[in-house]
Amino acid sequence: MNALAAAALAAGELMCEFHDGYRKSLIAELSGDAPRVEMMLFYEALREDSAEVLSTRRPGRRTVRVRAAGEQLHLIEHDGPSVRVTTLTECTRTKLRADGEVCTRFNARHAWHFDSTTHLDPEAAAARLPSGAATGNCEPWRIE
């Protein structure tokens, strides 16, 4: 298991916010405003192989598969013939605690696509994602 996956799994629960990479407000960009949050995902019961997700876009709790590949962590949800995938790409903020340094913010991407190889090779599937995938970040629900 990679260090990023170990840090995310140690958190147990993540809250993620995303904005659509292809939808930008010219006025917001010119004024330096932060991108508008389009979707929030709450990952609970995060374990090495599975988790549960709640979304602000869809009602109900759903099961996701957790896959560490390369230097990334992939949270994969089946949705009919498609998949919804949140990929944690790097730790961008840490906090020093008595038991060591812990990650408190991860860069992330979220995409809904039809790549059936995602479960077999999530890293390669993530590399093939179009640049329009939603970007954002995830943070542990509890930091202390």
Q: What is the DSSP string of 59-119?
A: -S-EEEEEEEETTEEEEEEEETTEEEEEEEEEEEEEEEETTEEEEEEEEEEEEEE--TTTT
pLDDT at 121: 85
The whole-number pLDDT of residue 119 equals: 77
**Which mean pLDDT values do the consecutive 10-residue runs of the chain (144 residues) have?**
91 91 63 78 96 94 94 93 93 88 93 83 79 86 74
pLDDT at 35: 67
CA distance linking residue 64 with residue 23, whole number of Å: 27
Q: Tokens standing for 139?
A: 């943070």
- What is the Cα–Cα distance from 105 to 62, expressed in whole angstroms? 23
User: 3-140 adopts what CATH topology?
Assistant: Lipocalin (2.40.128)
Instruction: Say what the pTM is.
Output: 0.86
List the structure tokens of 131. 């640049």
